[in-house]
Amino acid sequence: MNRVYIKTYGCQMNERDSEAVAAMLRARGYAIVSHEDEADVVLLNTCSVRDQAEQKAIGKAGQMIKLKRKRPHLLVGIMGCMAQNRGRELLDRLPDLDLLVGTQKFHHVPDHLENIVSAIQAHGPRPSTIVDLEEEAGSQNTIRPHLEGAEDEKKVSAFVSIMQGCNMQCAYCIVPTTRGEERCRPIAAIVEEVVELAARGAKEITLLGQIVNSYGRREVPFVGKISPFVQLLEAVHAVDGVERIRFTSPHPRGFKEDLIEAFGRLPKLGSYVHLPLQSGSDSILKAMNRPYTQEAFRRIVASLRQVVPGLYLSTDIIVGFPGETDEDFEATRAFFEEMAFDQGFIFKYSVRPGTTAAPLGDPIAKEIKEARNQVLLDLLEKQSLRRHTALIGQVEMVLVEAPARRGEGLYMGRTAGYRKVLFPGRERLIGALVPVKITEASASHMMGQLEVSE
Ligand code: 5AD
Ligand code: SF4
C-alpha cells in the first residue's frame, strides 16, 4: 500500500504543492510512482480556474474509482482547488472517493492516508471519505517540507511559494474562493528555503504567489520607498549560488517604481517579466474589476523597457468576457501588437459559479471566443518568431536545465529572457550558464551551438 501516483492539474503553485505532498510522503516511506497502473494510491491535485480543468479532473477521478472494482485496495483522493471549490458536492458524484483535501490542508495528507490504511489493515469496514477542507491559520508556513526526502531531485530551476491566497476580486476569478485570504511567509523563512535549494544545486528560483507584488503589505513595513516584495527580491538576490530569479504573477496595479528600478540594480532578475493584462479594453478591464487602464499598463511597460533594454514580456489574456464587443476585442488585439508580447497565455472565458461575473452568464458565442483566441495566438506566433529570428548569429547566456525531450544529444536551457534554446551539449553542463550562439529560430524555441572560448 505504499506506492503513490500524484497527478497535477493547473498552475505552478499546484506543481509546487504536489512536490510538497510527494516529499512528505517519501519521508514517511511511500514511493512516488509515475503512472497510475503502478499505484496503490492515486491523488489528483486539481484546478478550478476554468470549467474544462474541473471536468478533466472529475473525469479522471471517475475512471480511477471505476478501477477500484478491479483493484479494491486502490485509494483515490482529490486535493487542491477543486476540492476546496466544490467540496462535498463532489461526493454526490463520486461517493467512493477516499480523500478530499483542501488547499490549506496539503500537509495533512500523509496522516489521512495512514489512518485509512490502518483502518483497512484492521479489516474494519472501508472508512467513509475523509473530508478536510477548513481554513487553517498558519498554513502558509507548512509549505516548506518539499525539501525533505527529496535528495534525489536536484533541480536547476526551483519554485518557492512566498504566499498563499488572494485578496483581489477579479470578477471572473475563483481563486479567492479556492485559495482563501492572502497570507505571507516571513522573508527569513523564504530565504532559508532558497539557501537550501541553492545548496542542492538550484540556480534559478521562481517566486510564486497569486499576486506577488502585494507580498507582505500588511506584515512587513516599507524601507523608505522599497516595498516588502522588493525587499524580498533583494534578500533572495543576495543568496550565493542563485543565478536567476523570476516571479509569477505580479499585478499591474502594484507594479510600482521600486520594482521597476529593482530590475536595474538586481542583475539576477534578468530580462523577463510576466505581467497579466487580461484585456486591452478599458471598459472590459473595468467590468473585470481590474483596477488599471490600458494607458497605465503602457506606462509600466515603457518604464520597464527603459530600465531593461531588450525586455521579454509575457502576459495572460481572457477573450470572450461577458460584454466584450468587436471593438473591445480590437482594442485588445491592437494593444497586444503594440506591446509586442513575446509569450502569452490566451484563455477563453469560462463562467465560474460564485464569482461576481457569474450572474452575467456567458453571452459570447463559443465560435467568437474561438476566433478571438486564434487571432491572438497567430499574432503571438508571429511576434515570438520575429524576436527569436532577430537573435540568430548572437550569443546568449543560457542556463542549462536538462537533456532536451527529443533526445538527439540535445540539451535544453533558457536565456535571461526565459527563451528556450536547444543545443548539442553534455551532461556535465546541466546547471551551468554557458554562451550559446543562436543558429535557428522557430516561434517556440531557438537552436544553437556552444560558443567555445578561444
Ligand atoms: N476564465 C478564463 N480564464 C481565466 N483565468 C482566470 N479565471 C478565468 C476564467 N474564469 C485566467 C487569467 C489568469 C490565468 C491564470 O487564468 O488570465 O491570469
Ligand atoms: Fe492554480 Fe488557480 Fe487553478 Fe488553483 S484555480 S490550481 S490557484 S490556477
DSSP 48-65: -SSHHHHHHHHHHHHHHH
**Based on the domain organization, do 198 and 170 belong to the same domain?**
yes
CA 297 to CA 333: how far, in whole Å? 15
The CATH number of whichever domain residue 406 belongs to comes to 2.40.50.140
pLDDT of residue 143: 62
- Is residue 142 situated within a structural domain? no
First to last CA, the chain: 57
Whether the link from the prior residue into 249 is cis, omega within 30° of 0, is yes
CA 106 to CA 103: how far, in whole Å? 6
The CATH number of whichever domain residue 74 belongs to comes to 3.40.50.12160
**Based on the domain organization, do 399 and 377 belong to the same domain?**
no
Ligand 1 atom closest to residue 173's alpha carbon, by position in its atom list? 7
pLDDT of residue 223: 95
- Pair 12, 159: CB distance under 8 Å: yes
- Is residue 148 situated within a structural domain? no
**Does the beta carbon of 11 lie inside 6 Å of ligand 2?**
yes
- Pair 48, 72: CB distance under 8 Å: no
pLDDT of residue 232: 98
Amino acid in the structure at residue 105: K
CA 244 to CA 266: how far, in whole Å? 10
**Based on the domain organization, do 100 and 188 belong to the same domain?**
no
**Does the beta carbon of 14 lie inside 6 Å of ligand 2?**
yes
**Based on the domain organization, do 400 and 379 belong to the same domain?**
no
pLDDT of residue 128: 86
- Is residue 280 situated within a structural domain? no
Name the residue of 48, 278, 316, 321 to mutate for ligand 1: max ligand atoms within 8 A of Cβ: 316
The DSSP H or E segment spanning 32 is strand 31-33
CA 58 to CA 345: how far, in whole Å? 24
- Is residue 216 situated within a structural domain? yes
**Based on the domain organization, do 253 and 222 belong to the same domain?**
yes
Residue nearest to atom 8 of ligand 2 (CA): 11
Length of the chain in terms of residues written = 454
Name the residue of 175, 182, 211 to mutate for ligand 2: max ligand atoms within 8 A of Cβ: 175
CA 452 to CA 433: how far, in whole Å? 13
pLDDT of residue 148: 54
CA 46 to CA 55: how far, in whole Å? 10
- Is residue 289 situated within a structural domain? no
> Nearest ligand, CA of residue 208?
2
Torsion of CA 366, 367, 371, 377, to 10 degrees: 40
**Based on the domain organization, do 215 and 239 belong to the same domain?**
yes
CA 235 to CA 70: how far, in whole Å? 53
List of E strands, 187-303: 204-208, 244-248, 272-274
Round the CA-based radius of gyration of the chain to a whole number and report it.
Answer: 23
**Based on the domain organization, do 334 and 249 belong to the same domain?**
no
The predicted model scores a pTM of 0.93
Scan for cell 516571479, then name that residue. Answer: 247
Ligand 1 atom closest to residue 49's alpha carbon, by position in its atom list? 7
Of 21, 51, 72, 14, the closest CA to residue 59 belongs to 51
**Based on the domain organization, do 15 and 115 belong to the same domain?**
yes
**Based on the domain organization, do 418 and 375 belong to the same domain?**
no
Q: What is the mean pLDDT of each run of 10 residues along the chain (454 residues)?
A: 94 92 94 95 97 96 94 94 94 94 95 89 79 86 60 79 94 94 95 96 97 94 96 98 97 96 97 98 98 98 97 98 98 98 97 97 98 98 98 98 94 98 96 97 98 71
- Is residue 277 situated within a structural domain? no
pLDDT of residue 144: 62
Ligand 2 atom closest to residue 53's alpha carbon, by position in its atom list? 3
CA–centroid distance, residue 193 to ligand 2 (Å):
23
> Which domain-ending residue is among 361, 387, 413?
387
**Does the beta carbon of 179 lie inside 6 Å of ligand 2?**
yes
- Is residue 138 situated within a structural domain? no
Ligand 1 atom closest to residue 316's alpha carbon, by position in its atom list? 17
**Based on the domain organization, do 212 and 117 belong to the same domain?**
no
CA–centroid distance, residue 58 to ligand 2 (Å):
15
The CATH number of whichever domain residue 183 belongs to comes to 3.30.750.210
**Does the beta carbon of 178 lie inside 6 Å of ligand 2?**
yes
- Is residue 173 situated within a structural domain? yes
Scan for cell 481554513, then name that residue. Answer: 135
pLDDT of residue 118: 85
- Pair 117, 110: CB distance under 8 Å: no
**Based on the domain organization, do 415 and 444 belong to the same domain?**
yes
| Number of domains within the chain | 4
Residue nearest to atom 7 of ligand 1 (CA): 173
**Based on the domain organization, do 210 and 312 belong to the same domain?**
no
Provide the residue range defining the domain that includes 77.
3-132
Segment 120-124 long-range contacts (CB within 8 Å, at least 24 positions apart): 120/1, 120/73
Question: Is beta strand 204-208 parallel, antiparallel or unpaired with respect to 157-161?
Answer: parallel
> Nearest ligand, CA of residue 46?
2
Q: Could you tell me which residues are beta bridge partners of residue 244?
A: 204
> Which protein residues touch ligand 1 with a CB less than 6 Å away?
49-50, 172-173, 276, 278, 316, 318, 347, 349-350, 352
Of 308, 438, 444, 332, the closest CA to residue 382 belongs to 444
